[in-house]
Chains A and B, each alone.
Chain A
Amino acid sequence: MLFSRLIVRRIRLGSGLFLLLFVACHLCNLALGLVSVDAMERWRGALLMPWQTSFGQALLLAAAIVHASLGLASLASRHSLAMSRTDWVQLLLGLATPPLLLNHVVGLQVTSDLVARFRADYGYVLAVYWRYAPLFALQQLLVVVIVWAHGAIGLYSSLVLKRAWPRLAPIVIPILFAVPILALLGFAHAGEAVLARLATEADWRALIEQNLLIRREIGYRLGVIQVGVFLVYGVAVAAAVGVLAAKMLRRRSMRVMVSYDGGLTALGRIGMSVLEVSRANDIPHANVCGGRARCGTCRIIVPADADLDAPGEAELATLHRVQAPTDARLACQAHLLGRAVSVRRVYPAFVDATAAREPGSWLDETEANLEAVR
């Protein structure tokens, strides 16, 4: 394998954070619409210009391609669809983003790159969205919420496991709320101002319509680019889903029994992780990070001869961090190979992120908490 799972995971997280930073800058710029359209335009240089240089654009494009590719690769590498609700939301929001966003990117950035006299300033964009092509506005509004929700969930999932989270939370959470709300309010406020200007300033309206004409003139070329990207993305998604489906179909009859503590048993398939088996069979099993080998809360104690695959680098790093004993495995990374397996869950299903931040504290409390719930 060219890169270990740990490195791949870090690249995916890094590219995602890079994209989120860009989106945050973009939305902050949009929020300035609450002041005026001129303010939006003035601040565009500071907030968006770094991303609009050739280097910035290349970096942004690379981050988008890497993040999407690794997301699809992660989908294809799954062995079942037993995912948490948050993972489902993340997956669906992530899959919906590129097709919804493509129109915006092609219509503005690609057009600007192709035609030098095309002026894609905020006045033009808002005029198009509020007056000439309102359906695109609805699409972009939706994509703002989708992208932000996808990014916010990803950021939270990664930060909540850090020791610094209790100190960071009072800063990060208000920002996660404020940015999209202010951006949407700014969009609404600036849109009304643009509509009023369109109604009163004929010269400006003529300028906007001239810009629109340029956009129409190269409409065919833009259409070809758009269809090409759609096609590539569609093929990539179909391939990922196809690999997953083929894997699930091929192994549907290869049943493996998993025995848990407390006399519980569940049936899984070869290749599934123990956590996936727990999820598929409604067996309570802690998993704060959703099965990404980050938190260590899903860990299980297994016999030395358990028929499971060998632990990878990411799993070993997490097990080392939480000071797990040698017979411990992460249920999310321990995949069934064929023979029946017997496991003992370390944490109760109701642990929260503190168990990932301070693993020792929860182990002492576990028995007392179990008694309290009973």
Chain B
Amino acid sequence: MRTWLISLAGAVASTASSAASADEPAFQRLAGSASAGVSANLQALRDDFALAPFEAERFGAAIAAALRDGTAVRTVTFALILVVVGAGLEWLYWTFAAAPLRAVVSTTATTPRQAVSLALRRLAYLGVGVALFTASTVGAALILPWHPNVDTMVIGAIALVVAVRSAWIIAEIVVSPHHPSLRLAAIQQYQSGFLVGGVAWLTMLAAAVALLPQLTTTVGSAPHLAEAIRVAMGFLITVSLITAVLIASRQEDRGGKERRRRPRFPKGLIASFVIVATAILALVGGGRIAALLVDIAIVAALLGASKRIVFFFCGMSSGETRSLPPRNFPTCCRSSCWRWFGLRHCSSGSQD
């Protein structure tokens, strides 16, 4: 992880320095091409939304035809067989594994290291359940005689279900809303349920972004409708993220009201700005820059939280206390800046 962070930081730094030393006409050319690219993307977006209603009608007709010729009934029948096989086998597994899992979650961890050990055991039990579900549904899907093009959709749908469930399980293990002593993150009890729900909701939206456009393209040959759905779902994800950030920052303000003595850096505002900027960049075609922005935001958040994470797992293994006071953002920034300069120094030293 550390190596990855250093290399990413180095890449960002080299991009910044090369941009600063670029000559003026090159920059103008770059700006011109970027502007043209943005205009083209916005025009494509307008076309997508203008043509989406017609394609939606065509998609509806395709669905109706699939219902009439038996394709849809057959597909749903086979999909339900997958549900029976997958859910049934996993249920059978849980009739044996539920007791050991209950044994793990009913243990009170006295130190974070013990919590990690118990979390790994929980991950093993829950992971085997998901793996069994995946293997059985994929195996059954490969055996069943689907109509052409449908099998890949089904495998995609299984993959997305597994992705959502995996994200949910990981969030549940890390945050552990019902078992505070097993929590692996320094977060408050009132945030835990909200966090798990938020992760599950966002993963589900992300899964829908991947699946729905594929469905409309495969079944209805409707690329514009697919793009419109993608944009709409992206908007929903952005709104959900901003709402989550606002709720989290409000809860944190409320939680720290008594001990707060000076105004805090508006972390929520910055996070909202980054989310909106990423969404706009993704919308106008700056996918790579948006991805870079997301990477930088993740790195900044990790750097900001690194001290808390390290202290949570190593500094407090004696088990004195498990809840840490929230740190102010400027303090995080300061320490992150020091680390940043440290990294720059290291990288320049290695170049010399």
Q: Which residues on A are within 8 Å of B, measured CB to CB? A: 129-131, 134-135, 137-138, 141-142, 144-145, 148-149, 156, 160, 173, 176-177, 180-181, 184-185, 187-188, 191-192, 195, 282, 284, 348-352, 369, 373-374
Whether A284 contacts B84 by the Cβ 8 Å rule is no
Whether B100 contacts A141 by the Cβ 8 Å rule is no
Chain B residues with CB under 8 A of A195:
69-70
Question: For residue B89, which residue of chain A has the nearest CB?
Answer: A177
Q: Knowing A177-B84, A282-B179 are in contact, say whether A187-B103 is a contact too (CB < 8 A).
A: no
CA of A282 to CA of B193, assembled, Å? 13
Q: Knowing A141-B76, A195-B70 are in contact, say whether A348-B103 is a contact too (CB < 8 A).
A: yes
Chain A residues with CB under 8 A of B104:
373
Q: Knowing A134-B67, A181-B81 are in contact, say whether A284-B73 is a contact too (CB < 8 A).
A: no
Q: Knowing A373-B104, A373-B107 are in contact, say whether A350-B70 is a contact too (CB < 8 A).
A: no
Shortest CB–CB separation between residue A279 and chain B, in angstroms? 10
Whether A181 contacts B84 by the Cβ 8 Å rule is yes
Whether B70 contacts A191 by the Cβ 8 Å rule is yes
Whether A137 contacts B80 by the Cβ 8 Å rule is no
Whether A137 contacts B106 by the Cβ 8 Å rule is no
Whether B73 contacts A134 by the Cβ 8 Å rule is yes
Whether A185 contacts B103 by the Cβ 8 Å rule is no
Q: Apart from A141-B73, A191-B70, A349-B103, what are 14 other A-B pairs with CB-CB below 8 Å? A: A129-B73, A138-B73, A138-B76, A149-B87, A177-B85, A187-B77, A348-B106, A349-B102, A349-B106, A350-B100, A350-B103, A352-B98, A373-B106, A374-B107
Shortest CB–CB separation between residue B306 and chain A, in angstroms? 31
Whether A350 contacts B106 by the Cβ 8 Å rule is yes
Whether A184 contacts B85 by the Cβ 8 Å rule is no
Chain A residues with CB under 8 A of B29:
none
Q: Is B72 an interface residue (CB 8 A)?
A: yes
Interface centre among B72, B87, B88, by most A CB within 10 Å?
A: B88
Question: For residue A137, which residue of chain B has the nearest CB?
Answer: B73
Chain B residues with CB under 8 A of A282:
178-179
Q: Knowing A137-B73, A145-B83, A188-B78 are in contact, say whether A173-B92 is a contact too (CB < 8 A).
A: yes
Whether B99 contacts A352 by the Cβ 8 Å rule is yes
CA of A373 to CA of B182, assembled, Å? 14
Chain B residues with CB under 8 A of A131:
68, 70
What size tier do the contact residues of chain B reach?
20 to 34
Question: For residue A135, which residue of chain B has the nearest CB?
Answer: B67
Shortest CB–CB separation between residue A45 and chain B, in angstroms? 26
Q: Knowing A134-B72, A135-B67, A138-B73 are in contact, say whether A284-B78 is a contact too (CB < 8 A).
A: no
Whether A130 contacts B70 by the Cβ 8 Å rule is yes
Chain A residues with CB under 8 A of B68:
131, 134
Q: Is B128 an interface residue (CB 8 A)?
A: no
Chain A residues with CB under 8 A of B102:
284, 349-350
Query: Can you offer 16 A-B residue contacts whose CB atoms are under 8 A?
Result: A130-B73, A134-B73, A138-B76, A141-B73, A141-B77, A141-B80, A177-B84, A181-B85, A184-B80, A187-B77, A188-B74, A188-B77, A188-B78, A348-B106, A349-B103, A350-B102
Chain B residues with CB under 8 A of A144:
80
Chain A residues with CB under 8 A of B74:
188, 191-192
Question: For residue A352, which residue of chain B has the nearest CB?
Answer: B99
Chain A residues with CB under 8 A of B95:
156, 160
Shortest CB–CB separation between residue A346 and chain B, in angstroms? 14
Q: Is B138 an interface residue (CB 8 A)?
A: no
Question: For residue B97, which residue of chain A has the nearest CB?
Answer: A352
Please pick, from B70, B80, B178, the residue contacting A192 in the complex, using a CB distance under 8 A.
Answer: B70
Chain B residues with CB under 8 A of A134:
67-68, 70, 72-73
Chain A residues with CB under 8 A of B179:
282
B22-36: which residues lie under 8 A (CB-CB) from chain A?
A: none
Q: Is B105 an interface residue (CB 8 A)?
A: yes
CA of A177 to CA of B95, assembled, Å? 15
Shortest CB–CB separation between residue B133 and chain A, in angstroms? 14
CA of A11 to CA of B99, assembled, Å? 30
Q: Knowing A188-B77, A350-B100 are in contact, say whether A138-B107 is a contact too (CB < 8 A).
A: no
Chain B residues with CB under 8 A of A130:
70, 73
CA of A40 to CA of B67, assembled, Å? 24
Chain A residues with CB under 8 A of B103:
348-350, 369, 373
Please pick, from B67, B76, B99, B178, the residue contacting A351 in the complex, using a CB distance under 8 A.
Answer: B99
CA of A195 to CA of B179, assembled, Å? 55
Whether A142 contacts B88 by the Cβ 8 Å rule is no
Whether B70 contacts A145 by the Cβ 8 Å rule is no
Chain B residues with CB under 8 A of A156:
95
B296-316: which residues lie under 8 A (CB-CB) from chain A?
A: none
B48-68 CB contact bits vs A (8 Å, 1 = yes)? 000000000000000000011
Shortest CB–CB separation between residue B323 and chain A, in angstroms? 18
Whether A142 contacts B73 by the Cβ 8 Å rule is no
CA of A149 to CA of B83, assembled, Å? 11
CA of A137 to CA of B71, assembled, Å? 12
Whether A177 contacts B88 by the Cβ 8 Å rule is yes
Chain B residues with CB under 8 A of A188:
73-74, 77-78
CA of A351 to CA of B107, assembled, Å? 14
